[in-house]
Amino acid sequence: MAERGPPHRNCASPLRFCISQRMQGERRNMTFFKKTTQEIFEMFPAFPPVPKPGVDGCTCAVVGNSINLKGSHYGKLIDFHDFVFRMNRGKTQGFEEDVGTRTTHRAMYPESAMNIDNSTYLVLFPFKIWDLQWLVKAFTNIKLKNGPSKQSVMVVHPAFMKYVHESWLEGAGRYPSTGCMVVILALHLCDEVSLFGFGADSDGNWSHYWETLMNKRLHTGPHPGSVEYDMILKLAKHGRVDFYSGR
């Protein structure tokens, strides 16, 4: 996530405000940023519940949105895990045979937000100040019908994105994808991690299993898709994850 160059003033902030400021063109100052984060600290638990190991350890399925899931028949296998992480708008209805039915954690950005029920944790990777504002407004100005409680919200420290980008991707791309960050998060939280729905289609795009990609030149945008995929293959090779590549 960090850009190379001379350090800016106040960049010692633990929430990496200056990095986000440069990448997003943010014009508001550190005072506004601190006020916003203080609202987050007051509204949501500092230590939300995270997956805990059972007698035989904690198993987690991280389900990506790749078209490679289509026709995979992985549904029952995915649902068998203790915890199931899904990203952004990954659908289950109508695709149960391939992707399963259970979702315990939903990681998303405001731009990819969708309704989730009160049995699912909302996992937010804040990338800009507006992401934090959106979260506060969602629980104050909007009635979340049957949605998650404040105790079911997990706000991942923005430094985690920097950590994944620099330590795992060696600075490739502008910043890691949501899927990549959830993979690394699961490695930190779970005893056993299984990965589903990652990889490009025949055109080199990470098409979604629930829709037809119209823009054939989309590829992975600012995300280093090929680097992330190679990382997954290396993790699988060394036995750190079980990778189900799909059809």
Q: Which of 136, 144, 121, 156 is nearest to 49 (CA)?
A: 121
* Residue of 5, 46, 7, 13 lying closest to 29 (CA atoms): 13
What whole-number distance in Å separates Cα of residue 215 and Cα of residue 203? 11
CA 41 – CA 49 distance, rounded (Å): 15
Note if 121 is an active site residue.
Answer: no
**Token digits of residue 129:** 């100040």
Single out the catalytic residue among 175, 209, 229, 244.
175
Cα–Cα distance list, 229 to 19, 220, 240, 245 (Å): 25, 11, 14, 11
Per DSSP, helices labelled H in 44-158 are 75-79, 96-99, 129-138
* Catalytic-labelled residue, pool 81, 165, 208, 223: 223
Catalytic residue status for 209? no
Indicate the helix (H) or strand (E) that contains 183. helix 178-189
Which residues are catalytically annotated? 175, 223
